[in-house]
Structure formats: C-alpha cells, structure tokens
Structure 1
Amino acid sequence: MAVIVWIVEGTWPACVDAARTRVPAGSEIVLLHVTGHESPGAAHGAFAGLLGRGHPERDPGTRMEELAADSARRLLREAADRLGRPCTREERSGRVEREVVEAAEGADLLILARDGDRTHLGPKSLGPASRFVVDHAPCPVLLVWPEATPGLGSMPPPPPHHH
C-alpha cells in the first residue's frame, strides 16, 4: 500500500497519527511537504522593482526560500520521528494544491487534515487548498480533524419542510 501524508504546519501531527494507527505495517509511506511560491515570488518581485537586479545577494526572496526549505526539512524530520517507522520524505514547491494532487497519482491513500473552520462540522472546515485536493485527488482520501471533532450539535438545522 502506497500512502501519501500531506504535512502542513499546525495540522501535521493528526495526519501522522492517522498514518501510524490506520496504515498497515510494511506500507510505503511518503511524508509530503509543499512550499508555495507565493511569498518568495512576491519578495523577489518587490525587491527587483524597488532596487533593480544589481544586488541578488540582498534579495529577500532568496532568504525566504532558504527559510522555507529549512522549515520544510524540520517539519518532515519531526513528522518522520513521530511516525516512528520507515518512510520517505518528499519536498516539493509550486502551487500547493496541484503539487499535492500530482504527488497522489498512483497512491492507494492520501491523508490530509481539515484546515478551515474547525469549530463546526461542514464544508467550511476545508480551506481552499484542501478543498481542491479533496475534489481532485486521484486516489482515496482520509480526511482527519487536527483537534477533537466538533459535536453533531455544530451542524446547522435541517431546512424547514414546505408542504
């Protein structure tokens, strides 16, 4: 069984715990972290626009990319330690939701966490990226709550019946 575990700051422990408890021993587990291009790209552009291209060593976008890569490596290391079994760590960068969907091609399972409003059951518990991934995943998806699941009382009441 090939399992992709999407590692995101803040919600990753729940995904790793789900893999640890629900994925059969001997399965191939890939811990996936994707760094979006948005922030470093914006910093590169702002730097170039303000100061021209004369001092690439001072480009804040480059430093942001280095920090993002360090953060991704740290998160993946912590996730692998928590998983406590053999796994592969994969770092990607690009449009986060598309990279996750592409990484899941050929997988038997994708594990991800809800990243929207986690105080209520319902569609708003998925943010835009996880909604895209759930809608486009080319494999089965295990969607976990990063904290305690909200009670059924958090569901809106059913619509009134009109006779």
Structure 2
Amino acid sequence: MIVLIWITEGTWRSTVDAARAQLSSGGGAGEAEVRLLYVTDDQVADAAHAAFAGLLGRGHPERDPGDRMEELGRTAAAELLEAAAARLGHPAVRLHRHGRVEHEVVRAADGVDLLICARDGDRDRLGPHSLGHATRFVVDHAPCAVLLVWPVPAPGLDSLPPPPG
C-alpha cells in the first residue's frame, strides 16, 4: 500500500495524525510506503522576479528578491517536511514539488492507494465551502482513494444549511 500525505502549512498536523491512525490500525498498513508531499506555488517568486526585472533589476541580477523568496521557500518546505516526518514516526519519503499546487498533488497521487488531505476552507459549518479551491480540485480529480480530514473538530449537524425553498 502506498499512502500519500499532502502537507500544507495550516493543516499538516491533522493529515499526519490521520495517517498515523491509519498505519496503526493494522491490516498490513504498517508495511505501507508513506510519502509526504509539499508543493511550492512558484507564482509569488515568479512575480517578484518579473517585477524586479521589469522595474528595478537592470544591471543588478544579484539583488533579485525572487531568488531570496525561492531560497526561503525551499527552507520552509524542508523544515515542514522534517516536522511532519518526525510527528509521523514512520519511515517516509519526502517529496517537494513546484508548480500549480492542485495539479502537482494530483500528479503525485498517480499510482498511490490512498491520499490523505485536510479541509482548508470554512471550518465553522459543514458543506462544500469547507474545501478551498486547490483541495476541491484534488478531491474531484485524484486518481486514488482520498481520506479527507477536518483539521479541527468538525462542526455539528446544526451547521447544515436549511433545505432550499
């Protein structure tokens, strides 16, 4: 069994805890190959590169703030993956990808048996708004089973909207 855990800044603890629960539940899951995935969205660094080149950077490429943003992103990703691996307490492959987040997660899920991700939208009520754009895309397009967890205790059934009409 191959388990992919999508790690994001705000929800990584809940996804790792859910994976730990799955791995400890038996059924051969203890022998699972676990992959921790973090995806860096390069749009911010690309925008900094472009702004610097277009407005400020003529003749001084060493001052490009996009380079520093990329370096900070690599460091932050490595630290987050390390923290997730330590919390997991199970051998895991660490994957750091770059690009459009939702597309990279779906690509990484190819050939995987289980993808674990967390709700990242509205945490106050049940429903479709509890998923952000990227997570909605991943849930809709993942080529494998998906375990979708709440990063906080789930809201009560009283948060359901009333029926239409």
Fold similarity call, TM over 0.5:
yes
Say which of 25, 29, 39 aligns to 1:34: 39
Deviation at residue 52 of structure 1 after TM alignment: 3.6
Post-superposition Cα deviations, 1:127-161, rounded to whole Å, max 9, x if no partner, equal 0000010111010100000001111111101234x
User: Unaligned 5+ residue runs, structure 2?
Assistant: 24-28
TM (norm. structure 1) is 0.96
1:78-117 equivalences in 2 (<5 Å): 78-117=83-122
TM-score, normalised to structure 2, is 0.95
Please name the residue that 1:12 is paired with. 12
Deviation at 1:2, TM superposition (A): 0.2
RMSD: 0.9
Partner Cα distance (2:38, 2:10) in 1: 12
CA contact (8 A) 2:57 2:64 kept: no
What secondary structure, in the 3-state scheme, does the structure 2 residue paired with 1:3 have? strand
Partner of 2:26: none
Please, which runs of 5 or more residues in structure 1 have no aligned partner?
Answer: none
Q: Could you tell me how far 1:53 is from its partner in structure 2?
A: 4.2
Contact between 2:57 and 2:63, CA under 8 Å: does it hold in 1?
A: no
Query: What is residue 136 of structure 1 aligned with on the other side?
Result: 141
Distance 2:58 2:154 in 1: 50
* Aligned pairs, number: 160
Cα distance in structure 2, aligned partners of 1:135 and 1:55: 45
Which residue in the other structure is 2:63 paired with? 58
Deviates most, 151-160 or 91-100: 151-160
3-state SS, counterpart of residue 149 of structure 1 = coil
